[in-house]
Structure 1
Amino acid sequence: MKLQCDVEVIHRMLPTYGLKNRGRGTRAVLSIGKHLDKTTRRNNIYLMICTQKDRAGSKYKADANSLKNFLSAARLAHRGSDSDTLPLSTLTPVRARDVERPKKKLAILSKKDYPLTSNFPYSLEQLQVSYCKLSRVDMRMLSLKSLRCLDLSNNHIKKLPETIGDLGCLAELVLHNNHLETFSAALCLSSLQRTLKLLDLSRNRLHALPDQFCQLRELISLKLDNNLLERMPSRIGQLSKLRSLSASHNKLPFLPAGFRQLSLENLDLFGNPFAQPNSLDHTMRLTFPLALQEMASRAVLDLRIPFGPHLIPAHLCKELELAKTCDCGRTVVDAFIQMVVSMNLHLVSHMVVLVDDMGSTEAPVQRYFCSLACYSQFLDICLRRGVR
């Protein structure tokens, strides 16, 4: 949609610098159309003004609802409708807030400043609400569809609403120093899968994270310090974009096998009660011969045969999704040999914070073997290294 007209762009800040507007319009083409916002990766409605000097045009983001009402009134006037029947208000000077730039950032750092009767500005992209003693997430925050960063640190929040997953632009979620005891699987399966890059759950009361947590595959930074974690998600290695992980001062006895697949820049696991592994201690869950279900499950995974609840029972789908990988590359489901071995954390991270006060950078990690042959081969390697 294009309109040829004389346009004058008035810069409200010019008087601040002792400058004046030109006071006359310039011949231009005024366009209304869609444009891809590189930040949110969404198409938004813009006004574009092209002049002789600027044929590429200058773009101005427009509020869709306001623009729709404006164009509807203009269309009715163009059709010659009676002015008394047009849905028009009387022309009056605008309020100061009507000509202010949309508010993008807001920080509330005390309970007395928390808004009780007014809404949060819908244009917010960054919102921090800290030290307000919130016991739950205010549902008004969940209507802020442009929100990219939500910081609710230093409150008393016990549970997160699943509707946080409806914030389609949310890239950073900071929940440091709250009372969280769980992080729901529903959040891991929401739109946060595609947007969330930073998650801070440090200083809470988490005992575990759901297995679905590894669906948050856009995560770059994850903070889990000072919780009560007794285990990490078994398939944490699926977080291929993760570069910074801190989980110090938890109750982790060992790390999951998938931990070896990570490629980090920074890693902090200080203050966990890691046990000294013994290469001869193992858990035997192999059966001879293998059960038919185990053989079928391994075949489905190794041959990458599609599966889902529309094809097989849901509980079998969950077992397949939580399958382990042997050192030989084959998958195992319920029949395997499990053991815990020591791993130098520099194998998965460039920078490593010492694990304990003794200066160690090693931690115990789970290993799985699909057969006695693979297990024996691994023990032989361990013995040869011991001789050396």
Structure 2
Amino acid sequence: LKLRCELTGVVHVSLGYSTLPFPLQPTCFPRFGPPTSIPGLSLVRGERQENKGSLGLRPACLLISTMKDKRGTRYELKENIEQFFTKFADEGKATIRLKEPPVDICLSKANSGSLKSFLSAVRLVHKGCDINASLSTLTPVKTSEFEKFKTKMVITSKKDYPLSKNFPYSLEHLQVSYCGLVRVDMRMLCLKNLRKLDLSHNHIKKLPATIGDLMHLQELNLNDNHLESFSVALCQSTLQKSLRSLDLSKNKIKVLPVQFCQLRELTDLKLDDNELIQFPFKIGQLANLHFLSAARNKLSFLPCEFKNLSLEYLDLFGNTFEQPKVFPVIKLQVPLSLLESSARAILYNRIPYGSHIIPYHLCQDLDAAKTCVCGRYCLNCYIQGTTTMNLHSVAHTVVLVDNMGGTEAPVTSYFCSLTCYVNSSDVLK
């Protein structure tokens, strides 16, 4: 086993002929004082020492280097480790607590398998085992090695776009704009540490479902592209738990799937200058949404659950809102069909369902069920009515809906029965 922690924040583990690099971000925390950020960590051979007239090697030690101190600070390991914290080793995180001096060395953003190999080597040194022969020799630190650990890259022209080399694996923020991309580069989807991805001002027509594998992605900017849809697969990916900000402005999107409302961590959503004819009718499930902008679309009404939002800012200027219809659309059926009765019972009682239990098309029907004003659900049997609402009831700051100074918009409501329709105060106003 040959193992070395490079200064760039990349650890190289050599097993035979293969070398596996992985990002490693070590930080040294004095337990009695303020934390100090350390960008370089190495497990190195011990120094030669004279022992009873013969030359020998001290046990291997840890060397922590910084830009100011490239020679680094050595930390003895033999019988000097108080505790290992490896609960999150599978996530690439671990901490080594030393006895003297009393510091914690925290490792993160590492490949879990290679990190475990590194910790095993450290344990051997702690127990007094001689692994000096297995370690590579330490070479002087170069400034360029520190610069390799990049967390941010901004590319705004075609000539700067990397064609012959990969993106740095350690990137957390990547912007690629004005490069004429017609598809998402698959190399970007290997950047597992990405938190912000900006692909604005390109010609992208379709998003790969594998964007959903970027489990730490918080901000996704797709402004000014040629997108026509946002896939269901993305709505049901790990983006449900990570995505906070989404910019789909200046595209060609007409409809968002109802599953879009499963992105419940969204706080900022921009949909300006598209061709949207309606919002997903379950948009009220986006409980964390604070900023919503959908100006200059083709919205003719808002869904009933829009009333459940609690926004700081709302912009719906320039949409083709229609006047509420005087007469409702009645699609009642007596008695209810077996499909309708079963669907209502499943949803009302919150019975779990999925394509592994029932046919996929039935799952789609249940996902698209409408919510009555009474809180129950309806599938194909309902009464549809339209009223108006003042947008200030859902948002603190509202951009005027039109040039006439209006802040009201039509809202479509659904009723599961004639009784609900008659008892609805909204309709009878």
Q: CA deviation at 1:348?
A: 1.4
Deviation string, structure 1 residues 169-218 (Cα, Å, up to 9, x no partner):
11110001111111111111111111111110001111111121111111
2:211 aligned with 1:164: yes
Distance 2:426 2:150 in 1: 62
Query: 1:194/1:7 Cα in 2 relative to 1: closer, same or farther (>3 Å)?
Result: closer
| Secondary structure in 2 matching 1:133 | coil
Deviation at 1:108?
Answer: 0.8
| Pair 1:44 & 2:99 matched | no
SS in 1 for 2:96: strand
Aligned equivalents of 2:268 and 2:323: distance in 1? 28
The aligned residue for residue 160 of structure 2 is 113
Unaligned runs of 5+ in 1: none
1:288 Cα deviation (Å)? 2.6
Amino acid at match of 1:13: K
Query: CA 1:332 to 1:115, structure 2 compared with 1: closer, same or farther past 3 Å?
Result: same
Query: Residue in 2 aligned with 1:298?
Result: 344
Hey, what's the Cα distance between the residues in 2 that align with 1:286 and 1:206? 32
Q: 1:269: which partner in 2?
A: 316
2:251 corresponds to 1:204: yes
* Match of residue 306, structure 2, among 259, 275, 288: 259
Find the counterpart in structure 2 of residue 366 from structure 1: 412
- Which moves more between the two structures, 143-152 or 46-55? 46-55
Structure 2 residue 220 is the aligned partner of structure 1 residue 173 = yes
- 2:410 and 2:367 mapped to 1: Cα distance? 24
Equivalent residues in 2 for 1:128-143 (5 A)?
Answer: 128-143=175-190
C-alpha deviation, 1:247, in angstroms: 0.5
The secondary structure found in structure 1 opposite 2:345 is helix
Name the aligned partner's letter for residue 375 of structure 1.
Y
Give, in whole Å, the separation in 1 of the partners of 2:212 and 2:219: 12
Q: CA 1:99/1:46 → structure 2, altered by over 3 Å: closer, same or farther?
A: farther
The match for 1:184 is 231
Q: Is the 8 A contact 1:47 1:62 kept in 2?
A: no
1:152 is matched with 199
TM-score normalized by the length of structure 2: 0.76
- C-alpha distance in 2 between matches for 1:24 and 1:193: 44
Show CA shifts across 1:50-108 (max 9, x none).
355645x24344744665666788869x877996xx6x656644554334462111111
SS at match of 1:186: helix
**C-alpha deviation, 1:7, in angstroms:** 6.2
Alignment of 1:84-123 (within 5 A): 92-93=139-140, 95-100=142-147, 102-123=149-170
When structure 1 is superposed on structure 2, of 139-148 and 280-289 the one drifting more is 280-289
Change beyond 3 A, Cα 1:316–1:10: closer
The one-letter amino acid of 1:45's match is K
> Kindly tell me: are residues 62 and 228 of structure 1, through their superposed partners in 2, closer, same or farther at Cα, counting changes over 3 Å?
closer
For 2:174, the equivalent position in structure 1 comes to 127
Alignment partner, residue 13 of structure 1: 68
What count of residue pairs does the alignment treat as equivalent?
Answer: 366
Matched with 1:354 is 400
Counterpart residue number, 1:34: 86
- Map of 2:273 onto structure 1: 226
For the structure 1 residues 106 and 62, does the alpha-carbon distance in structure 2 shift closer, same or farther, using more than 3 Å as the test?
A: closer
Q: Which residue of 2 aligns with 1:334?
A: 380
Cα deviation code 1:315-355 (max 9, x no counterpart): 22222222112222222111111022111111211111111
Quickly say closer, same or farther: Cα 1:271–1:73, change in 2 above 3 A: same
Match of residue 295 from structure 2:
248
Tell me, in whole angstroms, the C-alpha distance in 2 between the residues paired with 1:80 and 1:53.
22
Contact 2:292 2:311 in 1 (8 A): yes
Structure 1 pair 137–293 and aligned structure 2 pair: CA distance change class (3 A) = closer
**Which structure 2 segments of 5+ residues have no match?**
1-58
Q: Match of 1:325, as an amino acid?
A: T
Cα distance in structure 2, aligned partners of 1:381 and 1:246: 26
* 1:203-251 per-position Cα deviation (integer Å, ceiling 9, x unaligned): 1111111121111111111110000111111211111111111100001
1:44 counterpart letter in structure 2: G
Give how far 1:305 is off: 3.1
**In the alignment, structure 1 residue 318 sits paired with structure 2 residue 364:** yes
- The 8 Å contact of residues 372 and 414 in structure 2, kept in 1 or not, is answered as yes
Q: Distance in 2 between matches of 1:33 and 1:377?
A: 61
Matched position secondary structure for 2:154 = strand
Q: Higher strand proportion, which one?
A: 2
